[in-house]
Amino acid sequence: MVEQVVIIGTGPAGWTAAIYSARANLKPLIIEGAQPGGQLTTTTSVENFPGFPEGLDGAQLMLQMRTQAERFGARILSGEVASVDFKRQPFRLQLDDGKELETGAVIIATGASAQYMGLASEQKLLGRGVSGCATCDGALYRGKRVAVVGGGDTAMEDALFLTRFAAQVTVIHRRDEFRASQIMAERVKQNPKIKIAWNTVVIEVLDVVREEVTALRLKNVKTGALTELPVAGVFIAIGHQPNTKAFVGQVNMNEKGYILAENSRTNVPGVFAAGDVQDHVYRQAVTAAGSGCMAAIEAERYLKH
């Protein structure tokens, strides 16, 4: 059976594309991916999605979008896309379990994932004190000292969230000024539980005791001074990488691997991209949802002609 449209990814872009294409009677098949619901499931309260003045839980928002898509007949398949062939029609997708799909149109909405510092000690201790998700793991550090690396809104949000559990939070930033929005930066600076290490980078994650994080070796980039900060956990919040490995060589991308799309259209007719996978600038739930809508409308037009 050849599908009309397959949507890859289940963040706000994927679910919005699913809602629109299901309502257009395209019977979309949605590939759920490794992190169903995407990045919003790792955040706490979403306060800036229009229509929810009190804010709502990110995972709850994703569940509601999923329910809405299913209501109009969207079908959902678990699994990840391992490789694709966009060189001929119908397009072919191979999933990680070996299953093959054929489809007339594809909407790529695979989003982006947290980036790491690239230290060997960081990778070794991932899941044993090193985390890319404060909302997932923060509660494990009740009464302990933790650190957050980064100076953007994610780092601010993580640091504030962690003050609910941790005894003390140190934000480690490589410059002397935050990149984050002023309102978030101010909240961090005013919080008595948060300390800030300016002009500082982590050069090693230390695990003196039983392969669990015990401290960070820090370097002041201005003075070169080395110090040790005792912490039980470190949360990495230094940005994201697009999830486009399966599409390399099949659609045009920029040097960072973000898919190049204009009004959701990629260089391959019939292949569309929506959400963070093609947007490294705005990266908001509402912009992702908007671009998912555009992709579904474009896919419908493409299939009609």
Torsion, Cα 45 48 51 53, to 10 degrees, reads 70
- Active-site pick, 85, 96, 97, 136: 136
Strands 130-131 and 233-236, bridge-based pairing: parallel
Check residue 57 for interaction with ligand NDP (CB under 6 A). no
For residue 253, the 8-state DSSP code is B
CA distance linking residue 125 with residue 25, whole number of Å? 47
Q: Which stretch binds ligand NDP (CB under 6 A): 59-67, 130-138, 153-161, 218-226?
A: 153-161
154 contact partners, CB below 8 Å, separation of at least 6: 237, 239
Q: Which CB, 189 or 301, lies closer to ligand NDP? A: 189
Reference 237, options 176, 180, 297, 168; nearest CA is 180
Residues 222-281 that bind ligand NDP (CB under 6 A): 237-240
The nearest distance, CB 246 to ligand NDP, in angstroms, is 23
Binding-site member from 101, 155, 213, 231 for ligand NDP (CB under 6 A): 155
Q: Is 96 a catalytic residue?
A: no
> Would you call 233 exposed, middle or buried from its count of C-beta atoms within 10 A (0-12, 13-18, 19+)?
buried
Binding-site member from 154, 250, 266, 291 for ligand NDP (CB under 6 A): 154
* Residue 54: other Cβ atoms inside 10 A: 6
Check residue 179 for interaction with ligand NDP (CB under 6 A). yes
Binding-site member from 153, 199, 257, 268 for ligand NDP (CB under 6 A): 153
Give 172's strand partners: 149, 197
Check residue 152 for interaction with ligand NDP (CB under 6 A). yes
The nearest distance, CB 180 to ligand NDP, in angstroms, is 7
- From residue 182, give the alpha-carbon distance in Å to each of 68, 156, 284: 35, 10, 17
Check residue 174 for interaction with ligand NDP (CB under 6 A). yes
Check residue 150 for interaction with ligand NDP (CB under 6 A). yes
Which residues are near ligand NDP by CB under 6 A? 48, 117, 149-155, 157, 174-175, 179, 201, 237-240, 283
Active site residue ranges = 133, 136-137
